[in-house]
Structures are given as structure tokens and as C-alpha cells.
Structure 1
Amino acid sequence: MQSGKPKWTTNSMIAGAGGGLIASVATCPLDVVKTKLQAQRFVQGQIGYEGIAGTIKTIAKYDGLRGFYRGLGPTILGYLPTWAIYFAVYDGIKSTFGEPPLGASSKSKDWIYPAAQVKGYQPAMREHPWSLHILSAMAAGACSTICTNPLWVIKTRFMTQSRDEIRYRHTWDAALTIYRSEGIPAFYRGLLPSLLGIAHVAVQFPLYEQLKIWAQGDSDEPLTSRTILLCSAIAKMTASVTTYPHEVIRTRLQTQRLPLADDLSSDGMIRRHSKRGLIYTTAKLIRKEGWTSLYKGLSINLLRTVPNSAVTMLTYELLMRHLSSRTP
């Protein structure tokens, strides 16, 4: 059984990266709209986006079709390692901590092997399925978040870049500009709320696993694509609504930036951008814009993340079936 772990880890990385790539390209326009809604700040007398329809019209009017794919490069660069790392760690922890008791057969009725079988993932232990899934989801989420946070900062900067200010020309230019003007810490802005957002996957993945168990029932047939999509959609929607505020706070923190040398205001002075932390940003947001501001862009986020997650999980499950069927 030990010899099989590298195989499943490799398969998990390939399947996870493939699912993330397809989903990120398909839902990028919705991601752009959601990010702009999250980043907009209430300023008295200033014209800004008024809602989903206004945001879409503004992007279409001034930026065209290309505007809906702004930030796609760092998004792809971010999703590929994010899902590859996530599923590898998720699968690895389940395989490690879900080993059968000493002397127990892997085919015993009291044991269901956790690696990806043709039917998809099964609970590692009937006695403690939720604890193992939550541990796996949270550890995998923390690893992927810490490793890829710089790419998400670049993505957010691209998507919220003003049409009147071309600050970043491409992904590498954005990385160099942020590094030279703001230093390494800038790439980890929003990391704390992102780590707090691990509660999202702690809700999503255990719920997804449980929904698949209920859908599977006593049948030995593989779950259909429609069933996988439905289980994933329900799990993602529940997790998104429950933990959404951390995304708004993260976006606000990631869009904080120091001025460039030529970043001048109308009176010729360098603009001052204050750097504030999680608590200050959250308190100011609630004080100035109310509690509802913590759910800015929720509807468009659900339109983006639910199909994104469904496509990702379906692609992952199908790739894992294909890879497992080809590997002896």
C-alpha cells in the first residue's frame, strides 16, 4: 500500500491542475466583475460602480471583451499550483492518516480505502469521516494559500487596475513593480484573511464527500457527472455563503499599495496610501459602508464559484478515474 502513495499524489496533482485550468478560463469574466465589486470603496461625490449590471456595462464600454479577461494570466498561474498543491496534500493526508488498523484488510466492511477509486473518493473511516476530511481540507488549504498568495495579489491588482492608469503591463512586470516599490511583504497582503478563509474548504470538502456518500447509497455504479456537479454545487454554495466576508476583506487588503515615483495627484503631490491591517480594515469597512458591505459581490461570486467548483471537481474526478484505470 505504501508504494501506491506517490502514484496517487502525482495523479492528484495532474487532475487538480487540469480541473483548475479549465474552470479558471471558463469563469474569468465573472471573477473580474466580482473583484471590482469587492474592491470599490464608497467615496462621497465619486462616481463608481453601482452594481453587477453597472460593472458589466462599464467594463464592456471602456475595455471591451478583453477587459473581462484582465488578470487571466496570473489567475491561470495561480490556479494551476493552487489546485495541484491542494489535491496532493488533501489526498496525501487522507492516505496517511486513513490507513487501515493493524491487521485489518483494506477490503473489510469496517474500512473504506481513501484513495481515488473509480467511484471517486470514499470516507477513510466510518467512525471519524468528518474529522479526517476537515483535517485534510484545512491543511491542504493552508499549504496552497501560503504558496500561491503572491499570484493572487498580482491577479487582484490587475483586475482592479483603473482604465486611466496602466500600472502593470503583464504578470512579470507587475511582480517586479510590486517588489521594487513595495517589497516582499506586499505579496502577502491579505494572507491572514485568506488563512481565516480556510474555514471555507473545511465546510466545502467534508460536505462534498458526505453528499457523494448519500448519493452513492448502496450502489456499486460510479456516480454520474450530473450527480458530481450537483454535490459540488451544493457544497460550494453552502461554504461560500457561510464564509464570504473574508474575501471582501482580503481584496481590500490586497489592493492597498504604495505610490510609485510618478503616482501624483491632481495637485502634483504623491498620493498617500495607508497600509492597515485586518482589524482596522474590517472595522472601517463596517463603519463607513455597513455590515452589508461584507457581502459585496456575493451574488456574482456565487455565479462564478459554483460553476467553477463544479467544473473543477467534475474534471478532477473524471481525470482521476482515467488515470487510475491506466495505472496498474
Structure 2
Amino acid sequence: MSSGAGQAPELSWTAAALRLFQLVKYENLVAGVSGGVLSTLVLHPLDLVKIRFAVSDGLRMRPKYNGIVHCIRSIWKQDGIRGLYQGVTPNVWGAGLSWGLYFFFYNAIKAYKQDGRSAQLSATQHLISAAEAGVVTLCITNPIWVTKTRLVLQYDAGVNPSKRQYKGMLHALLKIYQIEGIRGLYKGFVPGLFGTSHGALQFMAYEELKKEYSQYKKMAPDAKLNPLEYVTMAALSKVFAVTATYPYQVVRARLQDQHTQYSGVMNAVWRTWRNEGVHGFYKGVLPNVLKVTPACCITFLVYENVSQFLLDFHQS
């Protein structure tokens, strides 16, 4: 009796894992990677500007920028196009993998919770499913985001490349691991966990907007929409999520910054609040909105169309 009872939870977890594995679709992974890579290549310079503003605490010798346009012009003048694409390699890898894995796990978790039923999930179930997918994705991709931040913050890269601390993505990964260990590769992980709320809120809003719109138009829940409809819903859901969760991105970037040392998340939060007030938690928010909103629109538009194409191709 005791032996059987002890094995039951293990068997149930194994069965659940096998069921979840059966529900994963490579089409979601490929479509997510495609959308993430394309949007990153187009909009990486704005991401670079966002990070430089986010870590600008006014207490260290850093380049001073008067605004987004001045920042872009200064980097272009000093380093050329290469300067605007510092850190693009880990950004492409990170964004591609993150979007791909996020869609991959999210759709599998959502299908698992539906358990073959046609009924749609509630807003809360969408929120929890997206949060779970976000945690798994972050565990895999956090080291890539650390290397991206370090590469983006090499201010003198164009002046004297031989003095750069990191020569590229793989060099940065190895050097961070050699000097700081696994802990170094997972700097910013805790605020990153809070950041899963960003993706969760975004996916919840996106799913609810699609559901309400389909009901309004009297269409099937999974009916294909036109590009403008996808773009509109993606933009609205992204602006909603950014407004609610941006401060964590500032804290995360500062923890990953090689120029300043913090003892932990609360130390970074306290020092930002003490020195800069509420404004400090929203530094870089404008270039972030300008970057992530079109990036989200591109990603979701590519994802919806590529996934639909692959699913139709697979079924034909």
C-alpha cells in the first residue's frame, strides 16, 4: 500500500510530462524564432539606446546623451553602423530563442490545460500559462541576455577595438563564466522572473483581444485575421504590458552592467530610488516603447502567418 501510494505522484508527474510533450508543435517554435529574429535585426539600434539610458545613473563617467536622436547620432559618428549593432549577435540569439521557446511552451501548456476541449481558456488561465512558459524560457536564455547587455555597454568599442573587454558573444560567455561563474551568467535573473509578468500580461491581453474581436465579428476563435488586425492587437497588448512592468527592466540592466556593482536586487532598487526617484525606474522607456511596439507587431505578424503556413503544410 505505502509503496503504491509513494509511486502515484511520480507516475502522475511522468504522465503529465509525456502528455505535455505530445502536445508540443515544432511549428510554434519555428514561427516564434522567425518573428523574433526578424524584429531584432530591424530594431536592434533602439534596444541599444534603451539599455544605455537605463543604466545612466548620473554617478559614473559615461557618454551623455540629450535624447534618442542625439544618442543615435553620437554612436553613429563615433562607431558607425557597427556601433549601433553592438551586442546584436546575442540579441538575435536571445530574441529568437526566447520568442520561439515562449510560443513553443505557451501553446503546449495552453493545449494541456484545454485537454482536448474546444472551450477557450479564461483570462486568468492565459495569464498563468504565459507566466509558466516565461519562467522556463528565462531559465534557458538568461546567460544570453547578460552577454548582450555587456556587449551593448562597451562604450569605446569603435575607438580602440583591441581594448574591448569582450570580443563577441562566445568570448563574453566564456569570460563571464571564468571570472564570475554560473552566478555571473544569471545576473538579473530575479528581476527577470518578475519580468515574466510582462509576457504574461502581454499574452493575456493579446488572447483576450483576439477572443473579444472574434466574438464581435462572429468568427471562429481560431479564425485567421488580416495583418492590420494582428498588428493592432499586438501593439495594444505590448503597450499595456510595457506600462505595467518597465521598472524591472531598468533594475535588470543595472544588475547586468559591468561598470557598477550592486549587492542584489533590493540594493539596486534602493540606490535607484535614492539617487533618481521614480524617474530612474523609467529611464529609457521611450526608446523601449518605440522599439518593442513595432518589434512585437512584426514578431506576432510573422508568427501568426508562419505558424499557420506550417500547420496547413503539415496537414496537407
User: What aligned pairs does 1:51-66 form with structure 2 within 5 A after superposition?
Assistant: 51-66=67-82
CA distance in 2, matches of 1:176, 1:222: 44
> Could you say which residue in structure 1 is the equivalent of 2:218?
218
Q: Does 1:79 align with 2:77?
A: no
User: What is the distance in 2 between the residues matched to 1:142 and 1:58?
Assistant: 37
In structure 2, the residue matched to 1:252 is: 254
Aligned to 2:167: 169
For 1:274 and 1:158, the matched residues in 2 are separated by 17
Change (3 A) 1:156 1:47: closer
Which residue of the partner structure matches residue 160 of structure 1? 153
Question: Per the alignment, do residues 172 and 224 of structure 1 end up closer, same or farther by CA in structure 2, a change over 3 Å counting?
Answer: same
CA distance in 1, matches of 2:97, 2:301: 18
Instruction: Report how far residue 6 of structure 1 moved.
Output: 4.4
Match of 2:207 in 1: 209
- Given candidates 292, 300, 308, the residue that maps to 1:321 is 308
Q: 1:188 to 1:8 in 2, by over 3 A?
A: closer
The superposition leaves residues 258-278 of structure 1 with CA deviations (integer Å, 9 ceiling, x where unpaired) of xxxxxxxxxxxxxxx644200
Distance in 2 separating the partners of 1:233 and 1:317: 14
CA distance in 2, matches of 1:169, 1:4: 40
Say whether the 8 Å CA contact 2:150–2:258 is kept in structure 1: no
Deviates more, 1:229-238 or 1:64-73: 64-73
Q: 1:288 maps to what in 2? A: 275
Deviates most, 69-78 or 216-225: 216-225
**Match of residue 269 from structure 1:** none
Partner residue in 1 for 2:135: 142
Q: Is the 8 A contact 1:154 1:175 kept in 2?
A: yes
Q: Is the CA contact (8 Å cut-off) linking 2:23 and 2:111 kept in structure 1?
A: no
CA distance, structure 1, for counterparts of residue 41 and residue 62 of structure 2: 33
Q: Which structure has more helix as a fraction of its residues?
A: 2
The within-5 A match list for 1:86-235 is 86-100=102-116, 106=117, 111-112=118-119, 124-125=120-121, 129-163=122-156, 165-216=163-214, 217-220=217-220, 222-235=224-237
Offset, 1:140: 0.6
In 1: Cα distance, 2:32 partner to 2:145 partner: 18
Corresponding position of 2:294: 307
- Alignment gaps of 5+ in structure 2: 1-17
Whole-angstrom distance in 2 between the partners of 1:196 and 1:44:
27
CA distance in 2, matches of 1:324, 1:4: 19
Q: Quick check: 2:205–2:237 contact (8 Å CA) kept in 1?
A: yes
- Return the letter of the residue paired with 2:127: I
The sequence identity of aligned pairs, in percent, is 32
Is the 8 Å Cα contact of residues 262 and 268 (structure 2) preserved in structure 1? Answer: no
Over 4 Å off, 4+ runs? 2-8, 44-47
Residue 202 of structure 1 aligns with an amino acid whose one-letter code is A
Instruction: Answer whether contact 2:131 2:199 (CA < 8 A) is retained.
Output: yes
Closer/same/farther in 2, CA of residues 282 and 275 from structure 1, 3 Å limit: closer
Q: Which whole-Å CA distance do the structure 2 matches of 1:301 and 1:80 have between them?
A: 18
**2: CA distance between counterparts of 1:176 and 1:47?**
27
Separation in 1 of the partners of 2:238 and 2:33?
Answer: 18
Report the AA paired with residue 35 of structure 1. I
Alpha-carbon distance in 2 for matches of 1:169, 1:44: 23
Change (3 A) 1:146 1:68: same
CA distance in 2, matches of 1:135, 1:65: 41
Letter of the 2:38 partner, please give it: I
Whether contact under 8 Å (1:34, 1:300) holds in the other structure is yes
Alignment partners' CA distance in 2, 1:48 and 1:278: 25
TM-score by length of 2: 0.86
* Structure 1 position 142, deviation (Å): 0.6
Decide whether aligned partners of structure 1 residues 4 and 317 sit closer, same or farther in structure 2, where only a CA change above 3 A counts.
farther
- Structure 1: unaligned runs, 5 residues or longer: 101-105, 113-123, 258-272
In structure 1, what is the equivalent of residue 14 of structure 2? none
CA contact (8 A) 1:75 1:155 kept: yes
**Alignment CA distance shift 1:78-1:44 (3 Å):** closer
Displacement of 1:50 in angstroms is 3.2
Kindly provide the amino acid, as one letter, of the partner of residue 70 in structure 2: G
Asked whether the equivalents of residues 190 and 253 of structure 1 are also in contact (C-alpha less than 8 Å), the reply is: yes
Residue identity in the other structure for 1:136: S
CA 1:206–1:66 in 2, change beyond 3 Å: closer, same or farther?
A: same
**Any idea what the Cα deviations from partners look like across 1:217-236, whole Å, max 9, x if unmatched?**
30356211110000000000
Residue number among 77, 85, 96 corresponding to 1:69 in the alignment: 85
